[in-house]
Amino acid sequence: MLLRALLREPTEYTPIWLMRQAGRYLPEYNATRKRAGSFLALAKSPAFATEVTLQPLNRYALDAAILFSDILTVPDAMGLGLYFADGEGPRFEHPVRTESDVARLAAPDPELSLKYVLDAVREIRRGLKNRVPLIGFSGSPFTLACYMVEGGGSDDFRQIKTMLYQRPDLLHRILAINAAAVADYLNAQIEAGAQAVMIFDTWGGVLAHDAFESFSLRYMADVLSRIRTEHEGERIPSICFTKGGGLWLEELAATGCDAIGLDWSVDLGRARKLIDDRCALQGNLDPMVLFAGDAAIEAAARRVLGSFGVPRRPDGGWGGHVFNLGHGISQFTPPEAVATLVDTVHSEGRALRRSS
């Protein structure tokens, strides 16, 4: 169902999956993470990664699995020394800030330094037994560069924006290497069994308009031009998600992606009209709605579905909609709220199709 929606083909209902659907809001995830000993140990073990990827599917009637991993596995494989500090999130021992730092960068061979991720993809596919498709993913070249240059998360992106304006040549070199690395990584995930891929451009929205096109959009388009669109005779759809990217919907549609992920600041109906069904749309419920109780969740889900509208177009074609949150699910979300959301999206999605 998910793959058909991403390719704008008819579906029986609106499929749904959730960003960060395998995560800390689930007690079973927390138990597995405790057994693993740390987040990195969890992410780097194919067995544990498979276990937590499948956990939400054992609870809810979700329409896709997404690989459990971390977007920073690629720069970690470049030798930057990823670690997680208590209360600080991810950090790198060796941030990339000087010309010599950039000169040492190279795209890693996924079959060598990221083999644990590919092994997890293979094991998850076996565990899924074709119940639902598996989505692979990577951070965008710019988002990865943010962490690489800042050395971790940032409130103001001072380091990378200084480089952008002071030494744009250095940043372009980083981004070119990242684009090659991301394309290689996604192609390796596809070869291992990923049936769709998603590029998370988490920080593209912090850029000025012209900078977004030059330093984020350009390199996502480069990645999309390199990744496989078919594997073993099956189409492999691609999704691009720029948080805060509502200003650039037409530009994102022109990258060659099959679907655009939207955050909650975008009206789905306006987005659908603007890009004229050139791409499917994914999104875009505010994750905080999941704290408001069943009635509010049901009403909000209906609003999102109604905003996209009837999937069938007047010309007889279909506009694909994949229901999702506008960003990752909060770790504090009540698990029962997700059940309400999934059930509502499926039932209301069926009703929409009957009405068409």
The catalytic site residues sit at 20, 24, 33, 70, 147
What does the block give as tokens for 253? 């549609």
**b vs e for 188-203, b when ≥16 Cβ sit within 10 Å of the residue's Cβ?**
bbbbbbbbbbbbbbbb
CA distance 348 to 335: 21
Are 227 and 219 contacting, i.e. CB atoms less than 8 angstroms apart? no
CA distance 238 to 84: 30
In terms of C-beta density within 10 A (0-12 exposed, 13-18 middle, 19 or more buried), how is residue 40 classed? middle
Q: How far is CA 160 from CA 76, 125, 151, 326, in A?
A: 18, 37, 10, 25
306 phi and psi angles, rounded to 5 deg: -65, -35
What's the half-sphere exposure (Cβ side, CA atoms, 13 Å) at 71? 25
Which residues are CB-contacts of 351 (< 8 A; sequence separation ≥ 6)? none
